[in-house]
Structure 1
Amino acid sequence: MKGSKFSEFMQEALNLQKNFMVAVFLLNGFLFAQSVVVDTANPSCNRFFGFGAEWDSYSYGSYEVTDSDFALIRKRVEYMGLPVARIMMLLKYGYNNNGVFDYETADMYRLYRHLDVCQALGSTVLLADWGVEQGWTVPPGSDIVSTDDTLYASVIGNYLDHLINVRGYTCIRYFILVNEPNYEVGSFSRWAAGVSNVKNALVTRGLQDKVLLAGSDMSNNVAWHTQAVELNILGAYDFHRYASGADILSGSLETYVGNLWTYAKTHDSAAAGKLLIVGEAGLSDGASTGQNSNIETFDYGVIMADYAVQCASAGSGAVSAWMLDDNSFMDFTWGMWCNKTLGFRLKQWFYPWALLCRNFKTGSKIYKLNTGRSDLRGIAAHHTDSAQGTSSWTFCIVNRLFSTQTLTIQVPGHGHASLSQYLYSPSSAITDSNGFPVATSILDENIGTGVSIACPGNSVLFLTGQEGTGALDISAANSKALFLFQNTPNPFNPATTIRYSIPIHSFVTLKVYDLRGAVIRTLFKGAVNKGIHTFSWDGTDRSGMASGSGIYIIRLESNGRALTTKALKVE
């Protein structure tokens, strides 16, 4: 064989080998399909209270969070729904010794402001008194210095009576004595005596059925959990867990949580009617008391969604992330948005955690999705409203692989559902002007026979048929045909939203052209599920520079067809 022919032959062989390897990659990733049947006979949690967060008022005074500032915070909390809120209480807020408590202090009014929101939303509040033995939690010269002091329990009973019976904060359903007592108190016997004292104080005031004791609130000490269960006094079992990235990725977190719940159910005959609560949820990698170096990253959102899915799969009835808001503690940066000094800027992980809070409703049954892969996890929530006669489903899929995974989810015995799809991925986390998640598509599917979805690598995908999910105001019937909607707003400045519908799973290209036919920006190029999809154009060109005012052509191409619409940018 002559040299030139041999070179051509070798090049062809290399091309064939390359194409074969690409095909193998696709078969292993994008084309991987797993049928998942929801086992409705075996819920992992029969009475889910919800996902939530730690929301403390401690440093709101130091940051000078005004009522106007608080209106923005309230708007975000209301969007989330915040089914569960763990809130700090301190004797420092109003205790004046000799059992006297001043309920009219600035600190107490800042606490009331939080509780007002929770009461209006119907949130379940876990009120945690952070203790008296570390000094900073009590006023100088306090006459209460020990957790087992009966005066401490009496003051707690009095302020709970005031909050619940006088001010009407019936949202306070659980009380926690001392934050992480294995560290803050150290002695289990002294803490247990304090719990017993508080129990008596609640009974004396007739509060024992209005607010239940939760504990042990331990962190990194399983022995405290087991001993707390054996006290036979707690109405719920809660703990803190800052898990490593490796433990979350491997699924070890689910095993850890499951073991705690198994112990409770084995040693407490009434445990099935109680809650297992993750009181503080977070990532230990990069963590210090006040900061986590990963908190601003996209990956933190994926990791925390994975954390949430594993806890719910293991039977937890409530998961509270640490934490909601950086204004809660001076110079802390664990929150979902920055403090007032930094302009209340939302962080990326707000997107998935807000959707978890908003769409996994209180009263839902939770089902673990068995995908057949340890790096592809998910849960389903079934929520029924007997008053309205409605039944709805919410699904969360977390893909820890780097390749797209396809699933067909089937719910036997159920029919059609209009499901809004939200996607948190490196290339898609669409939000509105408030920073709140926007659905990328609407799927009209029969979940009884199965709904097929493609979940990109390193992403979190939500499907929800719950009412009030912020679904696109577009008829699901429009998803039956290829259609390009008029962008909104139009005219626009600086950004506009583009929506289109695809009748089948297809490869699409969405581009913006100027009137000369030059490509200004490629907004999307790739495969999408059937349904209605949303993309936002920020008005910039391919180099990231702002495009000038004028008329632009938006062009959608799919399956040999092309549709266009005109968009007008104004200065």
Structure 2
Amino acid sequence: MQACSSNIPQGSLVTIAPENISCDQYIGNGVQWSAYPHADSEDAQWGALMDNPAKWDTLYQRLDYMQPQFIRVMDQANWRYYEGLDAAGMPIVNFDRPEMMALYRLLDYCQSRNITVVIGEWGTPHHMHEVEKKEARLDGADDPRWTKMIIQYLNHLIHEKGYTCLKYYNLINEPNGDWASTLGNFREWQQGVKALDQSLRQAGLKHQIKIAGPGSVPHYTYPEYKEEYSGKDWVKMSTEQLDQQLGAYEIHAYLPAEEVRKGKAVEFTHFDQDFPLTQAKGKPFFVGEIGLKEEWGTPAYHENIERAKQDPHTAPEDSQMSVYDYQYGVDMTDAVIQYMNAGGAGMIAWDVDDAMHTYGDLGNKNQLKRWGFWNILGTEICDNPADEAIRPWYYPWSWSCKYFPANTTILKPEFENIEGLRITAGKFKEDYSVLLANNCEQSHALHLEIPSMHKKTDFRIHQYVRAHPTTEKAEITAKTLAKVKPADGIAIEIPAKSVMVLTTFKD
């Protein structure tokens, strides 16, 4: 990273004005949480390891601290409720399978905490996962049998089980990718969305759950279609051709760390170009998956691969080993602030737990996808209880969730450009929160003013700093600034390579 400027004056002014709104339809930040397909039943690859109340209690306690506002639950029909085709070629569905219990535990939590959930399926059954079972394979995104199955499933979850937390549906993960069941075919995905939307209307579900999309990866273009459209065109095409069917717009963001540190996360994913298109439609635009991932072939990419190879339980092709590192917390907060200031309605971290997915989702214990805040099955599948511990980045990500609840008005602060320093703010009823990430090599003194707050109030300050220059451990500190008058200014200093949040919310 280019060195940050060393001539920033002491007490640089930061002004948070209520009229500088970047998002007024904020859903909130959150996490991707899957229902443990390798450990959800006796028939799963690892057996019923997650049929363990103590594991779920630990997960609930950790998420209660985080208070995610937005959770994405992607699944596969053949993992959960689809048992194949009958003699007439029609799907056999069963919502009483043991595999459903893990999903219910997850959704029970979301329902009880009033969390907005986007649910969906990775791809067309047996085109994605368990592809060898060709006799049960459906035809594509617009196969009416799959559409009917989805409607039955949603009717069961919403009407029979009462999961009113389900607000959005994803039809196919990252449909512009060569890894998707659509193989980058926009028209196939488009027809699937139209068919599903029509069926939602006919079933009386449209007012309860809306389709979100496209969930594309803007910086990837499938070669077969490069003459027609690129990855960055999917949101534009969706606004033009599917606005009647979509209730929210979405992309996925996998960002090189250097782009984040240069303040270029939004531009890298074309979000700045797509945001005005979505706002013209009056609908929220969120990031359905966000993480850091180095571009293929770069030195940083190869460094991550080599590091992953040192762990016998890790899939080098699809892991981010920096989740163990202190700096990942600074970088992810830096990125989320950039999207919040650009109008993002919510950012969903990929992901909660290493125990959720393996490479290709084949259930190989030596091919875990390392992206999480922990591995809740570290003891059982890795013989490593320490792997169940919370990793550093959990804390700043938690602050971006809990102190910016759903329906917060996100405010973009005004301050002189300080390279490597990112700041966002939010107002929820009478409470304010300010989130800062200093990705610079030096500390910064700031004078923070909220001109509309004349009443003296208490601010709680939480800091995420490196415990020692030679360690990857984080030091989490908290203190209270009592009876300050924000209109007159609050003097703070944010250390180098750190995260800070100031909030009037009570802990």
TM interval, short-chain normalised:
0.7 to 0.9
CA contact (8 A) 1:338 1:347 kept: no
Report the 3-state secondary structure (helix = DSSP H, G, I; strand = E; otherwise coil) of the residue aligned with 1:312: helix
- In the alignment, what sits opposite 2:70? 84
Q: Residues 436 and 407 (structure 1 numbering): CA distance in 2 closer, same or farther, change over 3 Å? A: closer
Question: Could you give the per-residue CA deviations for residues 62-115 of structure 1, whole angstroms, max 9, x where no partner exists?
Answer: 371211111101111112111010101211111133233111112211111100
User: How much has 1:338 moved relative to structure 2?
Assistant: 2.1
Aligned ranges for residues 389-408 of structure 1 at < 5 Å?
Answer: 391-408=430-447
Whole-angstrom CA distance in 1 between matches of 2:476 and 2:108: 25
Distance 1:451 1:95, change over 3 A: same
Superposed, 1:165-180 pairs within 5 Å as 165-180=159-174
Paired residue secondary structure (1:210): coil
The whole-number CA distance in structure 2 between the counterparts of 1:297 and 1:199 is: 43
Deviation at 1:408, TM superposition (A): 1.0
Per-residue deviation, 1:262: 4.7
Q: Measure, in 2, the Cα distance between the counterparts of 1:261 and 1:193.
A: 27
Q: In terms of mean alpha carbon deviation, does 53-62 or 236-245 score higher?
A: 53-62
Give the match's secondary structure for 2:199: helix
Deviation at 1:370, TM superposition (A): 3.0
Report if aligned partners of 1:214, 1:238 keep a CA contact under 8 Å in 2: yes
Aligned residue in 1 for 2:457: 417
Q: Which amino acid aligns with 1:168?
A: G
Q: 1:27–1:251: structure 2 CA closer, same or farther, 3 Å change rule? A: closer
Count of equivalent residues: 429
CA distance in 1, matches of 2:54, 2:467: 34
1:335 aligns with 2:381: no
Distance change >3 Å, CA 240–CA 380, structure 1 → 2: same
**Larger Rg computed on CA atoms:** 1
TM-score normalised over the length of structure 2: 0.80
TM-aligned CA deviation for residue 139 of structure 1:
8.9
- The 5 Å alignment of 1:107-506 reads 107-132=99-124, 134-136=127-129, 140=133, 141-183=135-177, 184=180, 185=182, 186-219=184-217, 220=219, 221-231=231-241, 232=243, 233-256=245-268, 259-260=270-271, 262-263=273-274, 265-266=276-277, 269-271=280-282, 274-285=283-294, 286=301, 289-330=317-358, 331-341=368-378, 342-343=384-385, 344-372=388-416, 373-384=418-429, 391-414=430-453, 415-427=455-467, 439-467=478-506, 469=507
Paired residues for 1:468-547 under 5 Å: 469=507
Question: Alignment partner of 2:318: what SS?
Answer: coil
Cα offset, 1:353, TM superposition: 0.6
Is 1:71 matched up with 2:57?
yes
1:370 touches 1:378 (CA, 8 Å); kept in 2?
no
1:457 alignment partner, SS class:
coil
Given the superposition, is the C-alpha separation of residues 440 and 289 from structure 1 closer, same or farther in structure 2, using an over 3 Å criterion? farther
What is the Cα deviation at residue 126 of structure 1? 0.8
Cα deviation code 1:334-353 (max 9, x no counterpart): 00112312432111111111
Given that 1:261 and 1:276 are in contact with CA atoms closer than 8 Å, whether structure 2 keeps it comes out as no
CA separation of 1:137 and 1:152: change in aligned 2, threshold 3 A: farther
Q: Distance in 2 between matches of 1:416 and 1:26?
A: 34
Q: Aligned in 2, Cα 1:60/1:277: closer, same or farther, shift over 3 Å?
A: farther
Q: Does 1:95 align with 2:82?
A: yes
The amino acid of 2:414's aligned partner reads N
Q: Is the 8 A contact 1:95 1:139 kept in 2?
A: no
CA–CA separation in structure 2 for the residues paired with 1:428 and 1:452: 25
Relative distance call for 1:245 and 1:217 in structure 2 (3 A) is same
Letter in 2 for 1:195: V
How far is the alpha carbon of 1:40 from its aligned partner? 1.4
Cα distance change on mapping 1:428 and 1:114 into 2, 3 Å: farther
Over residues 490-513 of structure 1, what are the superposed CA-to-partner deviations in whole Å (9 max), with x where a residue is unaligned? xxxxxxxxxxxxxxxxxxxxxxxx
Cα distance change of structure 1 residues 27 and 304 upon mapping to structure 2, 3 Å threshold: closer
Q: 1:404-455: CA deviations, max 9, x gaps?
A: 10111111121222111111111389xxxxx996524444311111111100
Question: Which residue identity does 1:109 align to in structure 2?
Answer: M
The percent of aligned pairs where both chains have the same amino acid is 25
Give the letter for the 2:211 counterpart.
L
Mean CA deviation greater in 327-336 or 154-163: 327-336
Deviation (angstroms), 1:265? 3.4
Cross-structure match for 2:227: none
**Matching residue's letter, 1:361:** P
* RMSD, matched Cα: 2.3
Kindly provide the CA deviation profile for residues 5-50 of structure 1, in whole angstroms up to 9, marking residues without a partner as x. Answer: xxxxxxxxxxxxxxxxxxxx99736x63211111311210112111
Q: Paired residue for 1:104?
A: 96
- Report how far residue 254 of structure 1 moved: 2.7
CA contact (8 A) 1:130 1:137 kept: no
Matches of 1:209 and 1:139 in 2, distance apart? 37
CA distance in 2, matches of 1:436, 1:198: 48
Corresponding residue for residue 312 of structure 2 = none
**One-letter identity of the residue aligned with 2:489:** G
Q: Is the 8 A contact 1:352 1:460 kept in 2?
A: yes
Give structure 1 stretches of 5+ with no counterpart. 1-24, 385-390, 430-434, 470-571
Instruction: State how far apart, in whole Å, the 2-side matches of 1:156 and 1:139 are.
Output: 22
Number of the residue aligned with 2:25? 47
**Distance verdict in 2 for CA 1:428–1:174, change over 3 Å:** farther
| Corresponding residue number in structure 2 for 1:531 | none
2:7 counterpart of 1:28: yes
From the superposition, tell whether residues 268 and 303 of structure 1 become closer, same or farther in structure 2 (CA, over 3 Å).
closer
Alpha-carbon distance between aligned partners in 2 of 1:235 and 1:177, rounded to the nearest angstrom: 13
Distance 1:375 1:45 in 2: 23
Q: Distance in 1 between matches of 2:278 and 2:403?
A: 33
Aligned partners of 1:37 and 1:410 also within 8 Å: yes
**Deviating 4+ runs (over 4 angstroms):** 286-289, 435-438
Query: Post-superposition shift, 1:291?
Result: 1.0
Higher RCO (C-alpha 8 Å, min separation 6): 2
Equivalent-residue separation in structure 2 for 1:460 and 1:137 (angstroms) = 42
TM-score after normalising by structure 1: 0.71
After superposition, what is the alpha-carbon deviation per residue over 1:177-222, rounded to whole angstroms, capped at 9, x for unaligned? 0011112112110110000010011001101010011000101311
Matched residue, 1:533: none
1:203 match: secondary structure? helix
1:371, distance to aligned residue in structure 2 (A): 2.9
Asked whether the 8 Å contact 1:313–1:366 carries over to 2, the reply is yes
